[in-house]
Amino acid sequence: MEGGIRVPDSSSPVLAASAAHPSLVHFALAVGGFAIGTTEFATMSLVPYFAPDLGISVPTAGHVISAYALGVVVGAPLIAVLSARMAQRSVLLLLMGLFALANAASALAPSYHWMLLFRFLSGLPHGAYFGIAMLMAASLVPAQRRTVAVGRVLLGLTVATIIGVPAANALGQALGWRWGFGVVALLALITVALVAAYAPRDRAHRDASPLRELGALRNGAVWLTLATGAIGFGGVFAVYTYLASTLDAVTGASPATLPFVLAAFGIGMTAGNLLVPRFADRALTTTASVLLLWSAACLALYPLAAQRLWSITLDVFLLGCGTALATVLQTRLMDVAGDAQRLAAALNHSAFNFANALGPWLGGIAITAGYGWVSTGWVGCALALGGLAIWALAVRRSRASAPQRSAG
């Protein structure tokens, strides 16, 4: 240990050649998360502005958001496997370069179909960037602080929901929606400069290969961890997607209050990622279980909390705190993925984008069936408990296999 930086052995993918303090590297990586979080969430708020300009309806414009999510789901595992023999630093620079180019192209999109293509391309680097960035962040600190390091990278995304999204939306309203995507391209270029300056110069593991990464697909522990996030996190999106409509139809709040309620969710996300990793590094299994129960409780209370502005704001804040589950599961994947670290880390973000599709879909079914806007809370609670059941199975399976490994 030198200056707080763990010096890997000669076979490690990260070398101690960088003179940058881990905190500087974490900051550089978090700026990329800030750029990604800004475009992911701000696009939803820019739909009413680019839809008429591109000659499409608002529901049709929603396909643009789906195209981005599809890019994440496809790009995360594909890039992780194909880049197996590349250094982490090089991959991060290429991914942020592509992200900058695709968002700049989105800002210049001449038609709906070009916009679909450019948003799909923008989504491709998302999961792989976060996966590789978190592996790099964790490699620079002692093992007992890995979750804290992962949380620092995700802080970029959570802070984006508080600062980046409102700023991009305000810029889009004042100067035109294209500037909302243009500023993200600029943030991506800033990330490229910061990663080039501070990220350690590393080399891929000597045995790295696409086939070795694909080994994660044969690992039951990896699949159960991914399923925990894909199901358990769906409840958050079930509520978040219909929050504006709930505030209007149930709470009776003014549309002007929506940014403040959304900001409360973002503040909760940020608080969760600052506090929860410290507990996870001491007791990861227990922390994940508590977070899933926490989310289930917040979602179960949502129908009651929705009756008052102060209570729904508090409930949304507490629900945001529970999103630190993403950070905890990322560390769990590092423990169970074996030699397929890159693919498993990237797949975590595909899993959460699956949750982003599943939650709103099931919530929409409940609303359409006549159960009302607050029924999304009950749907979300069921999903959180479903995730907890999968997590319990994963923990039980892990404990059952531990004596076998010891005997071997």
Report residue 11's pLDDT band, with 50, 70 and 90 as the boundaries.
Answer: very low
Tokens of 197: 């300056």
Contact of 126 with 72, CB cutoff 8 Å:
yes
pLDDT of residue 15: 43
Domains and CATH numbers, the chain: 17-208 (1.20.1250.20), 216-398 (1.20.1250.20)
Chain position carrying tokens 């997607």? 241
Please state, in angstroms and rounded to a whole number, the distance separating the CA atoms of residues 96 and 93. Answer: 5
Angle at 177 between CA 175 and CA 178, to 5 degrees: 90
pTM listed for this prediction = 0.79
Report residue 238's pLDDT band, with 50, 70 and 90 as the boundaries.
Answer: confident
Chain position carrying tokens 């925990």? 228
Residue 335, pLDDT > 90, answer no
Amino acid identity, position 105 = A
Residues 6 or more apart whose Cβ sits within 8 Å of residue 41: 160, 161, 164, 165
Question: Picking from 105-119, 228-242, 292-306, which range would have the lowest pLDDT averaged per residue?
Answer: 228-242
Tokens of 52: 């008429």
* Chain centre distance of CA 317: 17
Q: Which residue did the predictor score with more confidence, 148 or 357?
A: 148
Where do the H-state alpha helices sit in 247-283? 258-280
Residue 14, pLDDT > 60, answer no
Query: Residue 212 — φ and ψ, nearest 5°?
Result: -65, -40
Contact of 135 with 339, CB cutoff 8 Å:
no
Question: Picking from 159-168, 244-253, 381-390, which range would have the lowest pLDDT averaged per residue?
Answer: 159-168
Q: Average model confidence (pLDDT) for the chain?
A: 85
Residues 6 or more apart whose Cβ sits within 8 Å of residue 137: 22, 25, 26, 29, 149, 150, 152, 153
Tokens of 135: 């592996």
Structure letter (DSSP) for residue 54: T
Query: Residue 44 — φ and ψ, nearest 5°?
Result: -60, -40
Average pLDDT of the segment spanning 119-143: 90
Contact of 357 with 308, CB cutoff 8 Å:
no
Residue 82, pLDDT > 60, answer yes
Using DSSP's 3-state secondary structure scheme, residue 5 falls into strand
Please state, in angstroms and rounded to a whole number, the distance separating the CA atoms of residues 103 and 97. Answer: 10
Please state, in angstroms and rounded to a whole number, the distance separating the CA atoms of residues 178 and 186. Answer: 13
Amino acid identity, position 3 = G
DSSP readout, 309-363? HHHHHHHHHHHHHGGGHHHHHHHHHHHH-TT-HHHHHHHHHHHHHHHHHHHHHHH
Tokens of 147: 């979750």
Tokens of 2: 């030198």
pLDDT of residue 112: 92
Query: Residue 313 — φ and ψ, nearest 5°?
Result: -65, -45
Please state, in angstroms and rounded to a whole number, the distance separating the CA atoms of residues 357 and 361. Answer: 6
Amino acid identity, position 251 = T
